[in-house]
Amino acid sequence: MSATEVDFYELLGVTRNADGATVKSAYRKMAMKYHPDRNPGDAEAEARFKACSAAYEVLKDPQKRAAYDRYGHDAFQQGMGGGGGQGGAEFSDIGDIFETIFGSAFGGGNGGGHARARRGADLRYDMQISMEDAFHGKSSEITVEVARTCDTCEGSGAEPGTGKRRCDLCHGHGKVRAQQGLFVVERPCPNCSGRGEVLEQACSNCRGEGRVDREQVLEVEIPPGVDNGTRIRLSGKGEAGPMGAPPGDLYIFVHIKEHRVFQREGTALFTRVPISFTAAALGDTIEIPGLDGESHAIEIPAGIQSGKQLRKRGAGMPVLQGRGRGDLVVELMVETPTKLSARQKEILREFRETETGDECPESRGFFNKLKDVLGS
């Protein structure tokens, strides 16, 4: 895609009467969207980026814009209206765009500024714990291998007794300029990676990186009430930054093992409890051992049905970094006896002979409804 094929205003998505601030804002959005560093290997995006930059080079300059409005693209053929002088986009504008894209990697001002130190990478550690540990919390040691500051050079990257000197390629500015058509682009110096300085002699231990890989043992405090996916941040325990830059953070992701008795939903604990049909018919009290080590009494009302849930307030999981606890929810499953003595069978037969149908209203209602439907 060429800048000469599409109207400059259309390229930036602005109207022909747009003011300078609107044009600048539109250009920034387009530059961020199509910048080659954000679209590696995408030739179309790179061409679009160059075209938008060429359009902005013209529309930001009142004289060039006036010439373009009058003559179109012909105004810049064979020197008309021309890009004499410095030629190229404002370095402050390009710097602003790079700052937005690369997180202030390019320092501004007064003859060039060096790239800021790149912070070390954040790291992830996955930790499995039991539901009991999630309930009570725990203190645990973990061992991770991570890039840490080199002890030999103390993170500078330079061999002890040596230092740094100004980069010969960028002359200490940390960036170099390249002409691309109608505009000039600033990029980090490839020789010094934007720092403006190079090592006189690289550290023999870390080879100039300022960091080395080594194991570190860390104490991790798991607070009561953590759930699956809870993220614990250990500030400054991630990868050390290169050349003495600040370290990143270490994030502990908590995964809770499946429990044999309880299932969890938020702060609520769920469990299924089988009860005898006599307990369901006559009522009873059962004791449920909780994760807190205490026994929780659950009152079963007479006549309860299978699948009914009963709730014990405040017997569930602790609230993470808060007060109180969730609930314990017990789902009752009425168990039909499979092994009966002769006397028990006799008692049940006597009971059946005395049944009127009112003992199980749902069963009686169903069969009455079935008769009505079938007309029998």
What is the mean predicted confidence (pLDDT) over 112-121? Answer: 63
Same structural domain, 122 and 251 = yes
- Which of 41, 65, 85 is the endpoint of a domain? 85
> Is there a domain that residue 244 lies in?
yes
> Is there a domain that residue 185 lies in?
no
Cα of 276 vs its chain's centroid, Å: 49
> Is there a domain that residue 127 lies in?
yes
Q: What is the pLDDT of residue 304?
A: 93
CATH number at residue 251: 2.60.260.20
> Is there a domain that residue 100 lies in?
no
Same structural domain, 237 and 318 = no
Nearest CA to 291 among 311, 268, 275, 272? 268
Same structural domain, 217 and 316 = no
Return the residue matching tokens 């309930």. 135
Same structural domain, 234 and 292 = no
How many domains does one find in the chain? 3
> Is there a domain that residue 104 lies in?
no
Same structural domain, 294 and 359 = yes
Q: Tokens in use for 255?
A: 């995964």
Q: What is the pLDDT of residue 111?
A: 41
Inform me whether the pLDDT recorded for 205 exceeds 60: yes
Give the separation between CA 343 and CA 332, rounded to whole angstroms: 27
How big is the CA angle at 91 (ends 89 and 94), to the nearest 5 degrees?
Answer: 75
> Is there a domain that residue 276 lies in?
yes
Among the ranges given (86-90, 299-303, 371-375), the one the predictor scored with the smallest mean pLDDT: 86-90
Q: Which residues are annotated as a binding site for Zn(2+)?
A: 150, 153, 167, 170, 189, 192, 203, 206
Nearest CA to 210 among 250, 165, 247, 240? 240
Quickly state the pLDDT bin for 174 (edges 50, 70, 90): confident
Among the ranges given (179-183, 215-219, 287-291, 323-327), the one the predictor scored with the smallest mean pLDDT: 179-183
Q: Is the pTM of this model over 0.85?
A: no
Same structural domain, 238 and 272 = no
Q: What is the DSSP string of 25-80?
A: HHHHHHHHHH-TTTSTT-HHHHHHHHHHHHHHHHHTSHHHHHHHHHHGGGGGSTTT
- Which of 62, 85, 108 is the endpoint of a domain? 85
> Is there a domain that residue 180 lies in?
no
Q: In this predicted model, what pLDDT tens digit does every residue of 259-288 receive, in sequence order?
A: 999 999 999 999 999 999 999 999 999 999
Same structural domain, 326 and 307 = yes
Q: What is the pLDDT of residue 118?
A: 73
- Which of 257, 282, 316 is the endpoint of a domain? 257
Same structural domain, 216 and 313 = no
Contacts 24+ apart (CB under 8 A), 73-81: 73/3, 73/4, 76/182
Inform me whether the pLDDT recorded for 53 exceeds 90: no
Same structural domain, 242 and 275 = no
Same structural domain, 227 and 283 = no
> Is there a domain that residue 281 lies in?
yes
Q: What is the mean pLDDT of the chain?
A: 82
Q: What is the pLDDT of residue 243?
A: 75
For the chain, give the percent of residues with pLDDT over 70. Answer: 83
What is the mean predicted confidence (pLDDT) over 89-98? Answer: 42
What is the mean predicted confidence (pLDDT) over 308-316? Answer: 95
Q: Are 245 and 119 in contact (CB under 8 A)?
A: yes
b/e code 322-340 from CB counts within 10 Å (16+ = b): eeebbbbbbebebeeeeee
CATH number at residue 19: 1.10.287.110
Inform me whether the pLDDT recorded for 367 exceeds 70: no
Q: In this predicted model, what pLDDT tens digit does every residue of 54-80 receive, in sequence order?
A: 888 889 888 888 887 877 776 665 434
What is the mean predicted confidence (pLDDT) over 149-160? Answer: 89
Paired sense of beta strands 268-276 and 263-265, if any: antiparallel
Q: Which amino acid is at 187?
A: R
Q: What domain range includes position 292? A: 263-370
Q: Are 20 and 60 in contact (CB under 8 A)?
A: yes
Quickly state the pLDDT bin for 50 (edges 50, 70, 90): confident
Phi first, then psi, for residue 244 (nearest 5°) are: 85, 10
Same structural domain, 140 and 26 = no
Same structural domain, 293 and 349 = yes
Q: Which residues are annotated as a binding site?
A: 150, 153, 167, 170, 189, 192, 203, 206
